[in-house]
Amino acid sequence: MPMRINNNIVALNGRRHLGISGQDLSKRMERLSSGMRINKGMDDPSGLSISEGMRAQLRGISVGTRNAEQGTNLIQTAEGALNEVSSMLLRMRELAVQAASSTISDTNRLSINSEVTQLMSEVDRIANATTYNGTSLLSGFGNTVSQNTAVSTSLVSATTGMTQAILSGAQAGTYTFVDGGADGEVTIGNGTVTQTVRIGTILDGSQVSTGTTALVNFDRLGIAVALNDSYTDGDLDSTTLLISAGTGGDLQVGPNSSSVDRISITLEDMRATGAKLNLGSISMATQSSAQAALSPLDQAISTVSLVRGELGIQQNRLGYTIARNNVTFENLQASESTIRDADVAEEVSEFTRSQILTQAGTSLLAQANALPQNALTLLQ
């Protein structure tokens, strides 16, 4: 091997390897001190991109779970108020039965009517006062399907077979059906977005089976329609469904912007004088009016019970959603961890290896730097 003094190739080689070992040692120390395998983009560019997407989903799921928990509180607020409304309606019916009897006088009925009037005022007050975070709940909450068959022509069940339209995050607007007939497909759209669903598999030939109800779910739009056995393929063609805008109503329980990540809550006007309960005209002033009040009171009690039942169903849905979100979060966090987190056992092993190589490289570089001094012996 030639002996040179201008360029110490052995020292250069030793310095290069020492630099590699030093960089690796620094990287292992960074990972062990941070606990993260990826601390900057250069550590794993593709892994960084994947894990950042997972982190966005994880944060979305976490907030969605919190939204669902708050939605449960919102529903419980509304349901608690309706419990009191139900109690007052029962008291009003009790008074109506009392006033309907000939055993009391019209003077007595005036006192009864005064109490009923106060109870109706209290029902209205509770409906107006029941709020959650500043949003009124019982005076109308969420988008609703217009029951006016002149604009929601698909609700004319005698000709279309539609008995109910259920919303789950649907946007307000007028939706038109395209029902081709023999092809077994139904399309609905609002002029901006549309969705086509094949219903041939739920039909008996071209009709809904006798005595049954078929549910057609337009999940991307957040609309589900129930069809009874009077529906025949093609009946919905060119009919409309008007969805009126309301305040609030959508709970974002998932991380993405789609109808399946939202749960829609709808509460119609539950005031005594509103269109839902429709008790504004009842009176206990006379025996005949008290007798006539029994039917609308029964209907109002039934309506409040149904609404409370629907709210209970929504609470159960939110409970299942929270449980599903927690499982999803756990598994997605595990996947993100395998990409982003450092394997301490592996890193300690590599750290020890780099530490030994660095120490050895430092020692050998010192010896390599001393090699050119051997040339001095030739000059003696």
Complete DSSP assignment for 285-305: SSHHHHHHHHHHHHHHHHHHH
Q: What is the 3-state secondary structure (H, E, C) of 197-254?
A: EECHHHCECCECCCCCCEEEEECCCCEEEEECCCCECCCCCCCEEEEECCCCCEEECC
> At 275, is the pLDDT very low, low, confident or very high (cuts 50, 70, 90)?
confident
- Burial degree of 354 (CB within 10 A; 0-12, 13-18, 19+): buried
* Section 15-33 average pLDDT: 84
- Contact of 109 with 290, CB cutoff 8 Å: yes
**Element spanning 225, H or E:** strand 223-227
* Section 40-68 average pLDDT: 90
d(CA 372, CA 363): 16
Res 349: pLDDT? 86
pLDDT at 67 over 90: yes
Residue 104 is classified by DSSP as S
Mean pLDDT computed over every residue of the chain: 87
- Burial degree of 374 (CB within 10 A; 0-12, 13-18, 19+): exposed
| Count of C-beta atoms within a 10 Å radius of residue 344 | 12
At 326-375, the pLDDT tens digits run 999 999 999 999 888 888 888 888 888 888 888 888 887 788 777 777 77
pLDDT at 66 over 90: yes
Higher-pLDDT residue of 314 and 259 is: 314
Res 64: pLDDT? 94
Q: What are the residues whose beta carbons fall under 8 Å from the beta carbon of 117, sequence distance 6 or more?
A: none
Kindly state the percentage of the chain with pLDDT values over 70. 97
| Count of C-beta atoms within a 10 Å radius of residue 307 | 22
Res 90: pLDDT? 96
| Count of C-beta atoms within a 10 Å radius of residue 295 | 11
**Which residue type occupies 118?**
Q
Residue 42 is classified by DSSP as G
Three-state DSSP state, 110: helix
Res 274: pLDDT? 84
Q: Please state the domain extents for the chain.
A: 143-245
Res 2: pLDDT? 66
- Contact of 163 with 226, CB cutoff 8 Å: yes
- Contact of 179 with 287, CB cutoff 8 Å: no
d(CA 208, CA 227): 7
Higher-pLDDT residue of 242 and 6 is: 242
d(CA 227, CA 312): 24
pLDDT at 93 over 90: yes
At 97-130, the pLDDT tens digits run 999 999 999 899 999 999 999 999 999 999 999 9
d(CA 215, CA 199): 9
At 189-236, the pLDDT tens digits run 998 889 998 887 788 888 888 888 888 989 888 888 999 888 988 889
* Section 319-323 average pLDDT: 95
